[in-house]
Amino acid sequence: MIRSRIVGAGGFGGANIIELLTAHPEAEIVSLVDVDGVGQPISAKHTHLKGICDLPVSAPDDATWDDSIDVVFTATPDGVGMTVANDCMKAGARMIDYSGDFRFNSAEAYAGYAERIGRDPTHAAVDLLPRSVYGIAELHRAEIADAAMVGNPGCFAVSAILGAGPAVRDGLIDTSTIICDAKTGVSGAGIKPAQTFHYPLRYENMNAYKIAAHQHNFEIERELSLLAGAELRVTLTTQVVPLCRGIMTTVYGQLANPSTTAQELYEAYAAFYDGSAFVRVEPQGTPTSNNDVRGSNLCVLSVNVDPRTGRMIVVSHIDNLMKGQAGSALQNMNVMFGLDETIGLRRPAFYP
């Protein structure tokens, strides 16, 4: 059994990895850590876990590090994972971090990201950065298998990178024209209440936020630049719509060859994701929707061409808490420990 610890158990990202690990046939949870609810069972906060997982919550300082743990999930915001990482590595555990702390494998790349989002550009565990791999298995399966650490990707980034990746790698679009128009459900904002997510102010609301300034923009550009083999920049617009779980990112790009057909584009995407169980590519004309992915680890891509304007339009659907967070984390764990990557993740979307 893979013995796991979850740091940040009290958030949505913590709750969801608890659910997945509890149902996983080859993993178990040995400890839960959070700053809130210390000493109480996690099911006091996440009451839906009563009888499923009633482990107590430990304070960060009380969580000892020894060889009893094989993998740590740090389901925490930026700045936490980097303070835990050295202890984790010393104890021989591997680590999957949900934040931006380990999504960039060099001091320079991290500094660029940190400056952009207003954080200290000096990384607290800079020596470990080269040991970390960006956690989209569809792009980095082999490196993840060997990695000590995985920087689990940002939710918007998963949808955008999977949506643009094949076109970028295969040179099918002009990489200076990429626009990612992303719409997310509210759970992406986490469990902490805020005015803008107060039910009466949100139920019929939608808005753009952090226009041209979202922190996930940076990792999208980095991963797509790697695929393109050249630096590129992307416009990312992040928008909140009144649903709980789901991201729909519409990716636009000017076709490199304006006569590329929707069918040709579809075939390129299908080829790219051949063998990837969690990406389903649909051709132009086949309806896709959030209902196809909600609650599942799937990414569903609708691949389209607007021949009148010579543009590619790819609609990328994921569940932000699954493929966009805990689902990818478990998929990465499976890959890291040599298991079939679909174990514990084969459930269909929650319906209706």
Which residues, 313 to 342, sit near a copy of itself by CB under 8 A? 313, 315, 321
Given 1, 126, 194, 271, the residue binding a copy of itself (CB under 8 A):
194
Binding of residue 210 to a copy of itself (CB under 8 A): no
State the Cα–Cα distance between residues 191 and 244, nearest whole angstrom. 11
Span from 56-64, 72-80, 307-315, 332-340 in contact with a copy of itself (CB under 8 A)? 307-315
Binding of residue 106 to a copy of itself (CB under 8 A): no
Binding of residue 311 to a copy of itself (CB under 8 A): yes
Please report, as residue ranges, which positions from 8 to 67 form the binding site for a copy of itself (by CB under 8 A): 12, 15-16, 19, 22-23, 46-52
Question: DSSP strand E in 43-115: where?
Answer: 57-58, 71-74, 94-97
Phi, psi values for residue 281, rounded to 5°? -105, 130
Question: What element of type H or E holds 15?
Answer: helix 12-22
Binding of residue 280 to a copy of itself (CB under 8 A): yes
Long-range contact pairs involving 210-218 (C-beta distance under 8 Å, separation at least 24): 210/238, 211/237, 211/238, 212/236, 212/237, 214/156, 214/238, 215/78, 215/100, 215/113, 215/116, 215/117, 215/154, 216/154, 216/155, 216/156, 216/157, 216/160, 217/116, 218/112, 218/113, 218/116, 218/117
Given 61, 66, 204, 274, the residue binding a copy of itself (CB under 8 A):
204
Span from 27-35, 119-127, 133-141, 232-240 in contact with a copy of itself (CB under 8 A)? 232-240
Do the beta carbons of residue 88 and residue 72 sit within 8 Å?
Answer: yes
State the Cα–Cα distance between residues 344 and 208, nearest whole angstrom. 35
CB 9 → a copy of itself: shortest distance, Å? Answer: 13
The alpha carbon of residue 349 and the mean position of all alpha carbons in its chain are separated, in whole angstroms, by 17
CB 304 → a copy of itself: shortest distance, Å? Answer: 5
Closer of 298 and 336 to a copy of itself (Cβ): 298
Given 165, 166, 185, 327, the residue binding a copy of itself (CB under 8 A):
185
CB 321 → a copy of itself: shortest distance, Å? Answer: 8
Please report, as residue ranges, which positions from 149 to 178 form the binding site for a copy of itself (by CB under 8 A): 177
3 state DSSP class of 151: strand
Which of 17, 15, 101, 7 minimizes the C-alpha distance to 331? 17
Of the candidates 155, 180, 244, 299, the residue annotated as catalytic is 155
Binding of residue 292 to a copy of itself (CB under 8 A): yes
Closer of 71 and 315 to a copy of itself (Cβ): 315
Closer of 126 and 212 to a copy of itself (Cβ): 212
Given 140, 183, 216, 222, the residue binding a copy of itself (CB under 8 A):
183
Closer of 131 and 202 to a copy of itself (Cβ): 202
Peptide bond into 352 cis (omega under 30): yes
Binding of residue 290 to a copy of itself (CB under 8 A): yes
Which of 126, 202, 145 minimizes the C-alpha distance to 332? 145
Distances in Å between the Cα of 143 and the Cα atoms of 11, 139, 203, 314, 331 are 28, 9, 42, 27, 14
Span from 73-81, 97-105, 243-251, 331-339 in contact with a copy of itself (CB under 8 A)? 243-251
Binding of residue 295 to a copy of itself (CB under 8 A): yes
Residue 262: CB partners within 8 Å, gap ≥ 6? 283, 284, 303, 304, 305
Given 200, 259, 275, 338, the residue binding a copy of itself (CB under 8 A):
200
CB 182 → a copy of itself: shortest distance, Å? Answer: 10
155 an active-site residue?
yes
Q: Which residues are catalytic?
A: 155
